[in-house]
Structure 1
Amino acid sequence: MGVVRASARLAVIVVVAAVVLAAMTFPFVGGVGLLAAQISASENGLTPELQAGDAPAVTTVTDSTGKPIAYLYDQFRVPVPSAEIAPAMKASIIAIEDRRFFEHGGVDPVGTARALVNDANGGATQGGSTLTQQYVKNYELYVAATTDAERQDAVAPSLARKLREAELAVQLDHQLSKDEILARYLNLVYFGHGAYGVDAAAQAYFGTTSAALTVPQAALLAGMVQSPTAFDPVQHPDAAKTRRDVVIEQLRLQGAISAADAAASTAAPLGVVARPAVPGQGCTAAGAAGYFCAYVQQYLDQAGLTSQQLRGGGYTIRTTLDPNAMAAAKAAVDAHVPPSAPHVADVLAFVTPGADAHNVTALAANRTYGNAPGQSSYGLPFVPENLGAGSVYKIFTAATALQEGVAGIDTVIDVPPSGYLSPIYKDASGHPFPVRNAEEGLAPQLTLTDALAQSPNTAFVKLEESTGVAPVVDMAQRLGMTSLGDPVSNAPGAPSIADRVRAEAQASFTLGVSPTSDLELANVGATLASHGVWCPPTPITSVTDRTGALVPITQPACTQAVDPGLADTLLNGLSHDVAPGGTAAAAAAAAGWNRPIASKTGTTQTSQSGAFVGATPQLAGAAILFDDSASPRPICYGSPPYSCGTGTLFGGETPAQTFFQAATKVLGNAPILPLPPVDPRYQAVRH
């Protein structure tokens, strides 16, 4: 390294000597004393980052088939190895920017002195900088600089900066091959229209790759680096062609192409696309997959890979998104509630059951993901909505009753009449508050299976008297409602939602009044369909870095949330919801549903929201319809549902219809599998 440093200093001294000569002949700012200070200031060596040469690169998010669904970046750059850059591109940039590139040692003293003399004498500005020096400057501008002030310093016309560039360029020339320097430069430089690096430029202007660039295409791009604005082929086609033809002529003069090739290239049209552009940035450009993309970012951020890292890291993120499931889910939510429908959000999530992973295959909302009026960038299908999911939460009370031996799935339980005053169901003052059913005339007793299908509120509050509230909350969290562990507010020391429900013994928990994530609800179905194994709902198959190496992603391990026999029994017990008399029977029949399914509907008291969760051995999902406005109102069922004074919506209507329309298409010709049988241990009371 000492030899390298000495060579670098020698080269810089040569440059400085040329500058001093110019200063003596053509006086301009500064003097020998100032130069000495600037020489001293230039003694900073190469940073590890500049030596490595990594530039910000776009992260590509793909679906399960490998098709891109989103690009995350601050600078759209797709670095490629030297072998994937067309020889015509390399020759063009050398011809117009640094014809002595293969002869000098990183700095061209003669060219630099000539440029400085011309500049000082008031002549036309000449670059004088080699490609290696330009690479250093562009690296400082596009990579090292993080503030506007630093970016201004990176291009400031100061002698100190020029000296530092020169020294670093010589050091790089000693450490890297010419081919590596050239590839780094072409991967770094800006070509306009959002395209950083030659491969991005090839895509943006010609719809091709850097490897396939022709001579006229390469010459156009090479000519643009001097000023992407002045030589923009769309805004200034004549200037761009003139500049391109200058590059072509230089190629001919330097023997890179024949006279015939030069003539043909000069005669060729510019050939750029009508509207050069790079792919849109972020999840707002992901179309129907916008919410899924947002969940991917949230998931990776929690796993330790931040959004900032993603936007420059050049990762490839292969997700679990099934394009067919996504298309079916989006079509279903939009069909039942148009994206422009005021106040009413319709969301749907699909998760595949499994003992090793619960893969998220689709997340959809009728709202378009974005920041424009009428759109939403809130995580509607996965962030908890505050209105609740209604009677779906009776699943957790039933599971707790099975676990504690309070009831078996065939146990006949009491169904008190509407208006029942339970000793644990109280108002804010602590007085018993009447529990009401959505329907009158229910049988005074039902099996737990039939109670799940007909969903009387009084029966489950009565059951909760035996199980206690806290165990039901515990069960909900274990089966998948993990956001119940979130704090109730942002106040320091605020308790979690679950802790508050436990502390206050809120018997209304079984009626589904707590904030609910649609994705978590779908994952509850996946947990039951996985014989009681809970896994985090994951959207990721793999993450690889720019070298292709796998990046480990930390996530919670799968756990046996409940006994397999309990999960199987409850899954079987939830199968009557689509049978005649069940709350989802009409929606299932209308969709032509012909598979065994465990399901449950739910509606909040004022119909501000309604929910449906369903699970088969191959697919679990949940749909929630809710008022997503700042001041929620009741929702009336209709085509489409709408805000109204007194709500009429039920979970067995639009939410169930949304689910069945999509799930029918997702499962398609997949085998029809039975639900697991009831485990005799959970069939009757075990006391």
Structure 2
Amino acid sequence: MPSSRTPSSRSPLSRLLTALLAGVLVGLVVAAVALPGNLLFGFAARSALGAYQDLPDMLATPATPQRSYLYASDGTTLITTFYDVNRTDVPLTEIAPVMRQAIVAAEDRRFYDHGGVDLRGMARALVSNVTDGTTQGGSTLTMQYVRNVLKNDPNLTAEERRAATEQTVGRKIQEIRYANSLERELGKDEILNRYLNIAYFGSGAYGVAAASERYFGKPPADLTLAEAALLAGLVQSPEAYSPIDGDPEAALARRAYVLDSMAATGVITAEEAAQAKAEELKLDPTGQPNGCTAAPDGDDTGWGFFCDYLRQWWLTQPAFGDTAEERDQALRRGGYTVVTTLDPDVQATAQQQATSVYDYDNERALPIAAVEPGTGKVLAMAVNRHYSVDANPDGQANHPNTVNQLVAGGGGVEGYQAGSTFKLFTMLAALENGRTLSTGFDAPTRLPTRYPADSGDATCDGRWCPANANPAWMDGYRMMWDGFGRSVNTYFVWLAEQVGQDKVVEMAQRLGITFRSGADADFAENNAADWGSFTLGVAATTPLDLANAYATVAAEGVHCAPTPVESVTTPDGTRLPVGDPTCERVLDADVARAATDAARCPVGQQSAFGQCNGGTATAVNSLLDGRPAAGKTGSSERAATESFVGFTPQVAVAGIAANPDDPTDSVGAAVQARVISGVARVIATAVDGEEVAQFTAPSRDLVGIPTRPSPRPAPRPNPGPESTDESQTQRADILRWLQGRRG
């Protein structure tokens, strides 16, 4: 590095060792004067400096940490970055020529003349150190590069890095040896490029790309002469000279030194140097977001929850390491470019709809998830919360900030009851086990079941007796079409009894419903056949699970594991084999088509066989301008949650209004209409500009009606909410009963 005079504080032994090394190098200087340069370096190589193949792997193929970028599905919208060290490597062709010239002028004027070790400069510096007690540098750019690699190698421990860069004669000789070996194998431009990509420029910026962005908000290819000179001046003392965190006047003084040095070497004229020195310091500081808590440019997009979901997915992928810790380190150091599945437009609509129902400070929440059928791509994850790592100490609620995954669940979040949306699983199990869409039952207001219950509103004579919320509209002879369309509790409880609740529970699991609650998981494993209330949606789920289950039906029975990733590429452009859809057929296509035919009834559309007769979410049809759609509403007991999940062949979206901190709090039945509207608007955004896709009608084998069915009355609107206090079982009764059975 260039000379920098400071008072000496070295011990006598240190000065003696330095003097001895100086003597050796002075001898080499004498040889350099007397011998041609090539002969000198040939002698040095043969006698002491070793061969390229002797270099540690860290120098031959350095593993410098780089930040990873996460982009939305368009490949250009930045979601965030992950890094321990703020660095991004760029080729020399993407670095302005004045930047290359400036760093050479500032740090190593003879860079293109020496063979990695500038013996004259080193001897001069060492002699000065010994004779006048000051400290001068003598390291070339190549030697500095070696030191930086050793200091930053992610595979070394802190102690190993310290030992590799400690100020000893032995370390200096090794550094010389490595530098000379590198120079004989790598071109000067390659060494310069590597140096510019690893040097520290202060203010957290490693490498010229990060520095250019940090100080000037631009790529290094666009740096001006004055800007390049300022950056080149920082590497000698990055923290002290940083115009952001250090001394701006010192930074300008160093800039002037670099410009004068550039003029002295002839790469610019004296007039150009003077003009650049006269320029005012103009900074455009740009910080890089790091992790899932910082939205780019301060824009509150709500992307934090999607980012968190992606990170959790990443930690499960063997391609990034053998352990979760290794995979996390790979994300923060590997320099990956990750194109995610997040659709910015769908996400923006989902976030707007979630916050239009409840603001950020409301203790109630509306988490919304959107999934693409046939691929499992997660298009959006929104909720009226700020994702923040500073939230949720012990006892703190999940609002307005939270690190808890309210959309996908996990980390202590079990999910929310989704009410009658679970009737889909009963219908699928029935269709798969020989029933048809025309399976009929004269549904009463209240239905005595075989399941014991000893107290509560939904009991009669020691049995569980669920009721219809709106008898005048729901009671009577029903088939799957109008039973589903009008959400008739007693019809589906009867149907589940006929098929077997264990088959219904298994169907839900097959479509991706995960039981995160310990009680739910226990019911599913040990008491599924007696879980009578399951069809009414008493198990906790999440919007993401629910949307993906309905997406399986939209994809005609093909279930795909949810994925947040389109592609992952390494810094050299290699695409890794991760993120591709993982799909399998879990339903016969005809069964899925039949369920879809009935699911068109709730949204105010007509089945392929003209059997729809009223629905609980008829506004969806007009909100989607008649585009083929299907879906289902859901309400839990005392309106503690209100849900809607809707789908087209191209997208499935689910939203559940709930209080994440208090499952007994009633969100109110009136909010269901707003949930329906919000989900429908997200669907509309997702399919905007897409070709209208039609559902395929099921075969008549699963319909069970004449070829030309009798005309049915025109669908009537739902006269009121689908649930009352009696519409769902009292879960406590079932818990007590099951506990008694286990006892």
TM-score category by the smaller chain?
0.7 to 0.9
Corresponding position: 1:294 with 2:294: no
TM-score in terms of structure 2 length = 0.78
Corresponding position: 1:598 with 2:630: yes
SS at match of 2:350: helix
Moved more, 608-617 or 587-596: 587-596
Q: How far has the Cα of 1:460 moved from its partner?
A: 1.9
1:479-490 pair list within 5 angstroms? 479-481=511-513, 483-484=514-515, 488=518
SS at match of 1:246: helix
SS at match of 1:102: coil
Amino acid at match of 1:346: L
Q: How far has the Cα of 1:224 moved from its partner?
A: 0.3
Q: How far has the Cα of 1:404 moved from its partner?
A: 0.6
**Residues 145 and 154 in structure 1, CA contact (< 8 A), matched pair in contact too:** no
Corresponding position: 1:394 with 2:423: yes
What is aligned with 1:77? Answer: 87
Amino acid at match of 1:327: A
What is aligned with 2:493? Answer: 461
Instruction: Quickly say closer, same or farther: Cα 1:24–1:595, change in 2 above 3 A.
Output: closer
Instruction: Quickly say closer, same or farther: Cα 1:167–1:352, change in 2 above 3 A.
Output: same
Moved more, 508-517 or 424-433: 424-433
Q: Give the alignment partner of residue 435 of structure 1, picking from 434, 442, 466.
A: 466
What is aligned with 1:283? Answer: 292
SS at match of 1:623: strand
Q: Give the alignment partner of residue 408 of structure 1, picking from 425, 433, 436.
A: 436
Task: Extract unaligned runs of 5+ from structure 1.
Answer: 1-15, 26-38, 490-494, 638-647
Structure 2: distance between partners of 1:403 and 1:175: 68
What is aligned with 1:241? Answer: 252
Partner deviation per Cα, 1:187-244 (whole Å, 9 max, x = no partner): 0111122221101111221222222222211111010011122112234221111110
Amino acid at match of 1:319: T
Q: Give the alignment partner of residue 384 of structure 2, picking from 344, 354, 366.
A: 366
Structure 1: distance between partners of 2:361 and 2:576: 40
SS at match of 1:612: strand
Moved more, 436-445 or 217-226: 436-445
Q: Give the alignment partner of residue 316 of structure 1, picking from 337, 345, 350.
A: 337
Partner deviation per Cα, 1:323-368 (whole Å, 9 max, x = no partner): 22111111111111112212x12111122223xx232222211112
Q: How far has the Cα of 1:409 moved from its partner?
A: 1.3
What is aligned with 2:138? Answer: 128
Corresponding position: 1:51 with 2:60: yes
What is aligned with 1:61? Answer: 70
Q: How far has the Cα of 1:554 moved from its partner?
A: 6.2
Moved more, 298-307 or 226-235: 298-307
Q: Give the alignment partner of residue 448 of structure 2, picking from 414, 421, 427.
A: 421
**Residues 18 and 109 in structure 1, CA contact (< 8 A), matched pair in contact too:** no
What is aligned with 1:510? Answer: 535
Amino acid at match of 2:589: P
Instruction: Quickly say closer, same or farther: Cα 1:128–1:425, change in 2 above 3 A.
Output: farther
What is aligned with 1:653? Answer: 673
Moved more, 409-418 or 200-209: 409-418
Moved more, 249-258 or 282-291: 282-291
What is aligned with 1:332? Answer: 353
Amino acid at match of 1:288: G
Amino acid at match of 1:395: L
Instruction: Quickly say closer, same or farther: Cα 1:245–1:282, change in 2 above 3 A.
Output: same
Amino acid at match of 1:461: V
TM-score in terms of structure 1 length = 0.84
1:201-240 pair list within 5 angstroms? 201-234=211-244, 235-240=246-251
Corresponding position: 1:548 with 2:577: no
What is aligned with 1:345? Answer: 365
Instruction: Quickly say closer, same or farther: Cα 1:685–1:124, change in 2 above 3 A.
Output: farther
Q: How far has the Cα of 1:601 moved from its partner?
A: 1.1
Structure 2: distance between partners of 1:206 and 1:426: 70
Structure 1: distance between partners of 2:678 and 2:452: 33
**Residues 145 and 151 in structure 1, CA contact (< 8 A), matched pair in contact too:** no
Identity %: 37
Instruction: Quickly say closer, same or farther: Cα 1:195–1:284, change in 2 above 3 A.
Output: same
What is aligned with 1:268? Answer: 279
Q: How far has the Cα of 1:398 moved from its partner?
A: 0.7
What is aligned with 2:125? Answer: 115
**Residues 601 and 612 in structure 1, CA contact (< 8 A), matched pair in contact too:** yes
Q: How far has the Cα of 1:537 moved from its partner?
A: 2.4
**Residues 437 and 480 in structure 2, CA contact (< 8 A), matched pair in contact too:** yes
Q: How far has the Cα of 1:140 moved from its partner?
A: 2.2
Moved more, 305-314 or 666-675: 666-675
What is aligned with 1:28? Answer: none
Amino acid at match of 1:604: S
**Residues 593 and 664 in structure 1, CA contact (< 8 A), matched pair in contact too:** no
SS at match of 2:370: strand
1:509-548 pair list within 5 angstroms? 509-548=534-573
**Residues 518 and 622 in structure 1, CA contact (< 8 A), matched pair in contact too:** yes
Instruction: Quickly say closer, same or farther: Cα 1:387–1:605, change in 2 above 3 A.
Output: same
SS at match of 2:386: coil
SS at match of 2:302: helix
SS at match of 2:365: strand
Q: How far has the Cα of 1:428 moved from its partner?
A: 11
Structure 1: distance between partners of 2:652 and 2:146: 54
What is aligned with 1:623? Answer: 655
Corresponding position: 1:684 with 2:704: yes
Q: Give the alignment partner of residue 666 of structure 2, picking from 635, 641, 645.
A: 635
SS at match of 1:134: helix
What is aligned with 1:576? Answer: 601
**Residues 635 and 649 in structure 1, CA contact (< 8 A), matched pair in contact too:** no
Structure 1: distance between partners of 2:170 and 2:636: 70
Structure 1: distance between partners of 2:569 and 2:197: 20
Partner deviation per Cα, 1:23-81 (whole Å, 9 max, x = no partner): 899xxxxxxxxxxxxx99xx995221321123111211112221122212222211111
**Residues 413 and 448 in structure 1, CA contact (< 8 A), matched pair in contact too:** no
Partner deviation per Cα, 1:591-640 (whole Å, 9 max, x = no partner): 475333211111222433222111112221111122122x4331233xxx
SS at match of 2:402: coil
What is aligned with 2:153? Answer: 143
Structure 2: distance between partners of 1:89 and 1:19: 36
Corresponding position: 1:452 with 2:484: yes
What is aligned with 1:106? Answer: 116
Corresponding position: 1:20 with 2:20: yes
What is aligned with 1:8? Answer: none
SS at match of 1:363: strand
**Residues 566 and 679 in structure 1, CA contact (< 8 A), matched pair in contact too:** no
Moved more, 113-122 or 89-98: 113-122
What is aligned with 2:29? Answer: none
Partner deviation per Cα, 1:475-511 (whole Å, 9 max, x = no partner): 1122232x24x6849xxxxx95674255573222212
Partner deviation per Cα, 1:156-213 (whole Å, 9 max, x = no partner): 3333433332232222222222211111111011112222110111122122222222
Task: Extract unaligned runs of 5+ from structure 2.
Answer: 1-15, 26-47, 296-300, 321-326, 392-399, 605-612, 707-743
